[in-house]
Chain A
Amino acid sequence: MGAKVITITSGKGGVGKTTTTANLGIAFARMGKKVVVIDADVGLRNLDLIMGLENRIVYDLVDVIEGRCQLRQAMIKHKQFAELFLIPSAQTRDKTAVSPADMIQIADKLRPEFDYILIDSPAGIERGFRNAIAPADEVLIVTNPEVSAVRDADRIIGLLEANNKGPGKLILNRVKAEMVRKGEMLSADDVTDILAIKLVGIVPEDETVIPASNSGIPVTLNENSRAGIAFRNIARRLTGEEVPFMQLEETGTFLQRLMRLFTGSQSSE
């Protein structure tokens, strides 16, 4: 009984962990779930910005751990969803201010009251990563279709297995269908071929993501955004629902697709 703790991690930085955490948090909240998102990236606080909650921060994760406030006081309620909360990270401290045991303790306190606890892991494989995965029931590995990101994801999966948290599930972020078709970008098959773990979502590259993050209104709230749809689908899959993967390409007629196959060029779409 109680919440499921899901840690979002990647190894490599900049692949979209924080964006994924924010969007999944909102997607779960839209489904009526009670959700807490925790920013475990102590010293490089970001999740609050993307969720548009920066100016509401009074207490943070480290304040809770060091006993300067109650857990409740550090939980910031989302503007739109009454049952979505953020526990921000401290900006002025570093990873050593938190221990894996602290994270387990906080997660255990939150479990009875929530459906999902999402933890945004920092990049890397050191202390911050170990803190973030310590309480996890499930781990999502975010990667991009690039060799360096996939290599780091592979390392992370190995570490998860060694910590009995593995193998985790995969989110492939920022896929450009056009480049995949031209053979310039790794395809989902190329990536799963190496990583050999379950894929729970493919998020297409989408120009609406960055402005959405900058304005603190994650793209999941945009009904028409393809990335938003992909994040909502991931959340549904994580609740156990069977959701087919969306077509990445804007499909043309059979003949058009055949033409593309031969010419490799961007035809009428």
Chain B
Amino acid sequence: MQEQTVAIKGIKDGLLISLSPTEEWLAITADLAARIDQQSAFFAGARITVDLGERPVPKHELGTLKALLERRGLTLWAVLSDSSTTIDAAMALDLKTSTANPIPGRESSEGTEVSSQEEGGVGVLIKRTLRSGRSVRSAGHVVVYGDVNPGAEIVAAGDIIVWGHLRGIVHAGADGDETAVVCALNMNPTQLRIASYITTSPPEKRRKPSPETASVRKGQIVVETWSTG
């Protein structure tokens, strides 16, 4: 069988469409449209996750793809990508950038059969500071390499890790997972939520910042200095 430029398979969250990262964009989207039109009954009403691999897709192109799917009655729900451009574009269009259920073989193409490897959850890495007005939503974990400023918010079904100063609003375990944690190098959130628990930072803690982690214990959120082990 020749290598397909458009691969489609069923996953827990709906349909996963993988687009070859090397093929010309216009050709590949035209291909996809043709495939959907041929088998419209199969696709009808499906929730679509698109895997774009390493291809950097700017916002307008991603928007075109979204519109292409919507015209055919399909919902573009999530975009998986290894390109930060694409992830930014997906976030700008309010699309998820991860799926609730890990997709076999996506995280590490060679690692699936090696038992010594950690399974690892799905997450988004945001490699910049989230400024006021920015909102990140993920069905997995969220890692921010930068600050989370006041007025920014992160809502994640999993954990939230901030490699920087956390000053905004974070909600870990947003789907009800009370084992979710929030870690930050400098923990000073406007509001911190884990599952259904809410806390705020004590006013004016002018101590030397140290990495801290927040978790739910005995029905309340506990913040403590981060330590290994």
Residues of chain A at the chain B interface (Cβ within 8 Å): 147, 151-152, 154-155, 157-159, 161-162, 193-194, 196
Contacts and interface: CB of A to CB of B under 8 A. Distances in A.
Interface string B144-160: 00010111000000000
B129 A151 contact: no
B150 A151 contact: yes
B133 A155 contact: yes
Nearest to B59: A162
Contacts of B132: 151-152, 154-155, 158
B141 interface: no
29 contacts: A147-B150, A151-B132, A151-B150, A151-B151, A152-B132, A154-B131, A154-B132, A154-B133, A154-B150, A154-B151, A155-B131, A155-B132, A155-B133, A155-B151, A157-B131, A158-B130, A158-B131, A158-B132, A158-B133, A158-B134, A161-B131, A162-B92, A193-B165, A194-B147, A194-B149, A194-B150, A194-B167, A196-B129, A196-B147
Contacts of B128: 161
Contacts of B129: 196
B147 to A, nearest CB: 7
A215 B181 CA distance: 58
A154 B147 CA distance: 12
For the complex of A and B, 9 pairs with smallest distance between CB atoms: A158-B131, A154-B132, A155-B132, A155-B133, A154-B131, A154-B149, A151-B132, A151-B151, A157-B131
Q: Which of A154, A161, A196 has the most CB of B within 10 A?
A: A154
A147 B150 CA distance: 10
Interface residues of B, number: 14
Nearest to B149: A154
Interface in B145-202: 147, 149-151, 165, 167
A110 to B, nearest CB: 30
Q: Which of B92, B132, B151, B167 has the most CB of A within 10 A?
A: B132
Contacts of B150: 147, 151, 154, 194
Contacts of B151: 151, 154-155
Contacts of B92: 162
A167 B133 CA distance: 15
A158 B149 CA distance: 11
Contacts of A158: 130-134
Nearest to B146: A196
Nearest to B150: A151
Contacts of A147: 150
A196 B167 CA distance: 14
Contacts of A152: 132
A194 B92 CA distance: 23
Nearest to B151: A151
A248 to B, nearest CB: 22
Nearest to B92: A162
Contacts of A196: 129, 147
Nearest to B133: A155
A147 B151 CA distance: 11
Contacts of A155: 131-133, 151
Contacts of A151: 132, 150-151
B130 to A, nearest CB: 8
Given A152-B132, A157-B131, 9 more contacts: A154-B131, A154-B150, A155-B131, A155-B132, A155-B151, A158-B134, A193-B165, A194-B147, A194-B150
Contacts of A194: 147, 149-150, 167
Contacts of B149: 154, 194
Nearest to B147: A196
Contacts of B131: 154-155, 157-158, 161
Contacts of B130: 158
B129 to A, nearest CB: 6
A159 B147 CA distance: 16
Contacts of A161: 128, 131
A168 to B, nearest CB: 12
B187 to A, nearest CB: 15
